[in-house]
């Protein structure tokens, strides 16, 4: 009986002080609404930090193609505008939304502009980049359009270079 009590207390303490999971996170949409990641349970998720004035901005086109190809198959995508790299995302949320929809027909979920590195790094990116939080590996956001693939169980599956095409085989094979 004593072992059961001790194990129960250890479990309670570890749950109280343990790492937060992917589904505990939330962010603000580009339209100003709170978006709980709990609604992503059971889905594969691709998270990408995006910018409108980057040499890689044309990836919006392939991101939208990927979303349309697999969006009905328990997959979703979230774009996080960020101005961390050479100030390549200077616009307001309204300007970013207009740019994405008019130039690339973006229909996947876009979030409000955040910081993906530094002292003001958004909690979603803290989780994505810190092994102590995501349980998979440490990473650093190297540039705009870095991709993070989350499995249906809320675990970080893989991190892809900004230069990796959204339609790369290593991404599409996982989504099939």
**Domain extent for 81:** 20-175
Q: What is the pLDDT of residue 5?
A: 53
Q: What is the pLDDT of residue 16?
A: 40
- 13 domain residue, yes or no: no
- 54 domain residue, yes or no: yes
Q: pLDDT class for 4, splitting at 50, 70, 90?
A: low
Q: pLDDT class for 3, splitting at 50, 70, 90?
A: low
**Residues recognised as catalytic:** 54
In the numeric block, which tokens belong to residue 156?
Answer: 């970080």
Asked if the model's pLDDT at residue 15 lies above 70, the reply is no
Selection from 126, 125, 128, 164 nearest residue 145 by Cα: 164
- 146 domain residue, yes or no: yes
* Residue 74 Cα distances to 6, 106, 149, 152, 171, angstroms: 40, 18, 13, 8, 14
With the C-alpha atoms ordered 18, 38, 153, 142, is the resulting torsion angle positive or negative? Answer: negative
Q: pLDDT (tens digit, 9 = 90+) per residue, 75-129?
A: 999 999 999 999 999 999 999 999 999 999 999 999 999 999 999 999 999 999 9
- 152 domain residue, yes or no: yes
CATH of the domain at 127: 3.40.30.10
Q: What is the pLDDT of residue 1?
A: 61
Q: How many domains does the chain divide into?
A: 1
Q: pLDDT class for 73, splitting at 50, 70, 90?
A: confident
What 8-state DSSP symbol labels residue 141?
-
Global pTM value: 0.88
Asked if the model's pLDDT at residue 7 lies above 60, the reply is no
Q: What is the pLDDT of residue 10?
A: 42
């Amino acid at each position: 009986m004593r072992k059961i009590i001790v194990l129960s207390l250890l479990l309670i303490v570890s749950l109280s002080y343990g790492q937060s999971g992917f589904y505990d996170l939330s962010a603000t949409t580009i339209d100003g609404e709170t978006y709980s990641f709990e609604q992503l349970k059971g889905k594969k998720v691709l998270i990408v930090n995006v910018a409108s004035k980057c040499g890689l901005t044309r990836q919006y086109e392939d991101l939208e193609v990927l979303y349309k190809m697999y969006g009905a198959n328990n997959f979703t995508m979230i774009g996080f505008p960020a101005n961390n790299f050479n100030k390549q995302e200077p616009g307001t949320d309204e300007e970013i939304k207009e740019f994405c929809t008019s130039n690339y027909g973006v229909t996947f979920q876009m979030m409000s502009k955040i910081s993906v590195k530094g002292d003001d790094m958004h909690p979603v990116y803290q989780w994505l980049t810190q092994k102590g939080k995501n349980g998979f590996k440490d990473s650093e956001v190297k540039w705009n359009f870095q991709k993070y693939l989350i499995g249906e169980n809320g675990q970080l599956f893989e991190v892809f270079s900004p230069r990796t095409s959204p339609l790369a085989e290593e991404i599409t094979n996982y989504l099939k």
